[in-house]
Chains A and B, each alone.
Chain A
């Protein structure tokens, strides 16, 4: 078991190096650099910047160097734990990302909990009452949940909140807490705002998970040991919950690995629509303004979260199923 985990952990740096090359190539790919898009922004707002000043800036930021030098420079800083400087905000990237990353993780965790709390009971109920009204209700909900893009759901909820209730459901904090230091009142305020985006992000995952849980449980319920237990007069609920549910949940654990990364990147679009202060809108902004070190660092963070998610599920799966450990 320990060897298995070690193997996976040792593979991580290799993967990250490969990803860093891909990511750097991606943020370098757009024609021009940050300064050309900066000059364009200035020009559109009426002011302008001289060619000599642009050259000087280009030298200070090292944008005139060959690409591999820029990459090595970026990597060198990364290895020392320095995420570099945002060209647009003129602040260290670590500072910009810090709190947003915490909020990204908190939001993902919330959505995850919501997904499991809803999906498992819904799946059980659906399977227990197969072809009954409850089952049809959940099946209908599942189809809708998968079909509706989550930014659409966010838009609809925002619109309803605005036009029916007269409240704004954007953001994660009330205005008075936005810049406040962390304390209990701020956490409470965060909780008050967090549940809605968490539901929006989690809804399609909930729909999928419910479907899988239903199918898995249906397979189990037809097995002979269930029939035997029923014949011996075991109560119906105990009969379902004691063994079949435990067996049906097992395969779901393996899906956590691809579900967690989906939560991280899925929150990106919703965050942009609902104006949530997580790393999503920051990435979007940096990509558009070609703020390449910020964009690169953020993409690498997403990649890192993805790897961690996969690793977590590998470990969970190994814990749950001894056969996988043997092969690993």
Chain B
């Protein structure tokens, strides 16, 4: 009880002391977390990423695979909310002219001609979660036809709308990051827990395995593993294979941490009491030991997700991760590989900016959680 009294002065501005002393651990963590303003902002950003992850088709404007070579490298048309003083959203038109010497289409933004757009408009048909058919999209031209296409983030070399592709890429890349971290947590907690709880020979074998895996050069091994995937695999299978590859190397750090916690917790009185009462080993591990460091695990895994995201992006960028027709941040950035293309169409780097924002948000939230995970700390 004395410990919880220590936290009282920290929290007393917002929360009355009598509530602090009876608050659950999760509540204390949450209170401390909300005091960290950047982490709260990052949390909101992450929330928006999650919404896009759930409904990428709703946020897209055109079909992500719709190609039209005539519409290649159109620059981004910025969205304006007000026409004069009235709230009437519009985007400027783009006018293409073929350069007589280079024979390349050159696009100009023409702000004098406006394309009226509408939020929540009807577009191409799709199914929410593959179940509910709808045509509803977040944005669309009021008169949707050939002349009134809108490209908020421009188009790539095949004339595909980068905004819409970015929405689907967000779904893929975020999912890969989180699923592979979930897998690492599973492996890490399982093997780390076994290692720390049983000790002895099992511990020795698992520890040597971890040391071996950790002394392997990560990126080259990743590359070799992904290069070993057959070229003719369908995108979904490649997706799962890449996820597993990322997790295989990522679990070791977590396993070490979990083991360390187990080793110190094993000596605690409450574990001994649970044993004396006659709890089974699995129950002691899952019911009594895991909850005491679960907040720590949550923080660690939040910090592991961006590492996975960067890895996936790098692998796909090198052509060894996900491959088209799959769409991920790395696949989108592949379009930006060539420096001449970049000079011509710098907006192809925008997916990279999104990667940075996502990674930043995860890191800041993770740091905030880590600080908050220890509610009795200073």
Residues of A within 8 A of B (CB): 15, 18-19, 22-23, 26-27, 29-31, 143-144, 146-149, 151-152, 155-156, 158-159, 162-163, 168, 170, 258, 261-262, 264-266, 268-269, 272-273, 283-284, 287-288, 295, 298-299, 302-303, 305-307, 310
Task: Given the known inter-chain contacts A26-B224, A287-B223, please indicate yes or no for A152 contacting B337, CB distance below 8 A.
Answer: no
Q: Looking at the complex, which one of A22, A27, A148, A156 makes contact with B216 (CB distance below 8 Å)?
A: A22
A299 touches B343 (CB 8 A): no
B215 touches A268 (CB 8 A): no
Q: Is the CB of B227 within 8 A of A288?
A: yes
Bound CA span A24–B291, Å: 42
Q: Once the chains are docked, how many angstroms separate the CA of A148 from the CA of B221?
A: 22
Interface flag for B310 (CB, 8 Å): yes
Does B46 belong to the interface (CB within 8 Å)?
no
Query: Which residues between 168 and 202 of chain B lie within 8 Å of chain A, taking CB atoms?
Result: none
By secondary structure, the B interface counts as helix
Which candidate, B1-9, B116-124, B278-286, B348-356, is the interface stretch facing chain A?
B348-356
B26-34, B147-155, B293-301, B311-319 - interface stretch:
B311-319
Contact A307 B339 (CB under 8 A): no
Q: Which residue of B lies closest to A204 (CB)?
A: B310
Asked whether, in the complex, the Cβ of A143 is within 8 Å of the Cβ of B360, the reply is yes
Q: Is B346 an interface residue (CB 8 A)?
A: yes
A82, B314: Cα distance in complex, Å: 33
Pair A155/B349 contact, Cβ less than 8 Å? yes
* From B314, B317, B320, B336, residue with most partner A Cβ within 10 Å: B314
B217 touches A26 (CB 8 A): no
Residues of chain B within 8 A (CB-CB) of A29 are 224-225, 228
Q: Do residues A269 and B318 form an inter-chain contact, with CB atoms below 8 A?
A: yes
Q: Across the interface, which residues of B come within 8 angstroms of A261, CB to CB? A: 217-218
| Size band of the interface chain B makes with A | 35 or more
Task: Tell me the number of A-to-B contacts counted with CB atoms below 8 Å.
Answer: 117
The distance from the CB of A97 to the nearest CB of chain B, in whole angstroms, is 14
Measured CB to CB, the closest approach of chain A to B307, in angstroms, equals 10
Query: Contact residues of B with A, CB < 8 Å?
Result: 212, 214-221, 223-225, 227-230, 306, 310, 313-314, 317-320, 333, 336-337, 339, 342-343, 346, 349, 352, 355-356, 359-360, 363-364
Nearest to A265 among chain B residues (CB) is B219
B339 touches A159 (CB 8 A): yes
Evaluate contact between A156 and B349: CB separation under 8 angstroms: yes
* A30 touching B342, Cβ below 8 Å: no
Central interface residue in A27, A272, A310, by most chain B CB within 10 Å = A272
16 further A-B contacts with Cβ under 8 Å, apart from A26-B224, A30-B228, A269-B318, are A30-B229, A30-B230, A31-B230, A147-B356, A148-B359, A151-B317, A152-B352, A159-B346, A159-B349, A162-B343, A163-B342, A287-B227, A288-B227, A288-B319, A295-B224, A302-B217
Question: Which residues of B have CB within 8 Å of A149?
Answer: 310, 313-314, 352, 355-356
Distance, CA A144 to CA B216, complexed state (A): 27
Q: Is the Cβ of A26 less than 8 Å from the Cβ of B215?
A: no
Asked whether, in the complex, the Cβ of A143 is within 8 Å of the Cβ of B343, the reply is no
* Residue numbers in B under 8 Å from A144 (CB-CB): 356, 360
Closest A residue to B232 by beta carbon equals A31
Name the residue on A nearest B223 (C-beta). A287
Residues of B within 8 A of A269 (CB): 219, 314, 317-318
- In the complex, the chain B residue whose C-beta lies closest to that of A156 is B349
Assuming the contacts A30-B230, A149-B313, A298-B220, asked whether A18 and B360 have C-beta atoms less than 8 A apart, the reply is no
Q: How far is the CA of A162 from the CA of B364 in the complex (A)?
A: 33
A306 touches B217 (CB 8 A): yes
* A146 & B363 in contact (Cβ 8 Å cutoff): yes
Check A151 against B227 for contact (C-beta < 8 Å): no
Query: Which chain A residues border B218 with CB–CB below 8 Å?
Result: 261-262, 265
How far does the Cβ of A143 sit from chain B's closest Cβ, in whole Å? Answer: 6
Least CB distance, A319 to chain B, in whole angstroms: 21
A147 touches B306 (CB 8 A): yes
